[in-house]
Amino acid sequence: MANLKEIRNRINSISSTMQITSAMKMVSAAKSKKAQEAIHAMKPYASTLGNLLKSLKSALGTTNPFLPREKGEKRILVVAITSDRGLCGAFNSTVVKHTLSLLEKYEGKEVEILTIGKKGNDILKKTGKVSRYCEGFFDHMDFQKVATLAQELMNAYTKGTYDRIILVYNSFKNVATQILTEEVFLPLQLTTEEEQEESDFIYEPSAEAIIEGLIPKHLKLQLYKGLRDSLAAEHGARMTAMHKATDNASTLRDELTLTYNKARQTAITNEILEIVSGANALNS
């Protein structure tokens, strides 16, 4: 059994750790609330824009550069979105594992990885498939910066650099649940389970011109929404992880305190026995 000083040092160490994890939980809770508000604010716009594109899909024709290619998919880009910081449970590992599973799924094809987030990049770069690492997106979420990256991805697709671009990230459900999401960024995915009824709307200047202008906005918003979702999910995951860490530390501290009290009581009892034994020896 460890001596009293060692146990007391461990109790102090665990108490200090509890203060850190508790503070991190509160910080993540505040950031998570702001991130959730941003997600809820943009979802109606994103949903309406997506539905509008689906209603206009008949105007796409067959020559739109963002449609699937007949020659098939040989070159694939996986955009893996993780966090810049750790201490958020399995948040990053789920994205990394799924990205690695995509490498196996598309074995025999040219697959590259674009990483957003330091934690995912640190692991995935060991595969030798990471062609680019984008940093600085989560320090200050800026739509213009995200739009620039989305435009670069669109240009790469239209030039034929890639035949398919896939987003992999954790979407936010609630602070305790993050949903691993694999989303096709390009080619356009405008099919629905049920075909929408033809509308009687009159489009000005024309349905073709409108959809040509909406597609870039839709793709930029899709990437921005994925990053926003990932950020909200990250804070929720960290909040949950720090809550569990605080609870575990509290339980361990209570167990060590009980052990310390038992050891201290045993030491006091032994000292009393030694004093009594010594007194009896002197009197005999």
Residue 268 in any domain: the answer is: no
Residue 273 in any domain: the answer is: no
Task: Specify the long-range contacts of residues 44-50, CB closer than 8 Å, at least 24 apart.
Answer: 45/221, 46/221, 46/222, 46/225, 49/214, 49/217, 49/218, 49/221, 50/218
Residue 265 in any domain: the answer is: no
pTM confidence score: 0.86
Residue 65's contacts (CB-CB under 8 Å, 6 or more residues apart) are 157, 158
Residue 227 in any domain: the answer is: yes
> Which residue's structure tokens are 């067959």?
62
State pLDDT tens for residues 210-267. Answer: 888 889 999 999 999 999 999 999 999 999 999 999 999 999 999 999 999 998 898 8
Residue 272 in any domain: the answer is: no
8 A C-beta contact, residue 18 and residue 249: yes
Count of domains observed in the chain: 1
Residue 172 host element (H or E): strand 164-174
Residue 3 in any domain: the answer is: no
Question: How far is the C-alpha of 23 from the C-alpha of 1, rounded, in Å?
Answer: 33
CATH code for the domain of 44:
3.40.1380.10
State pLDDT tens for residues 97-139. Answer: 999 999 999 999 999 999 999 999 999 999 999 999 999 899 8
Where in the sequence is the domain holding 28, given as residue range(s)? 24-189+202-240
Residue 275 in any domain: the answer is: no
Residue 31 in any domain: the answer is: yes
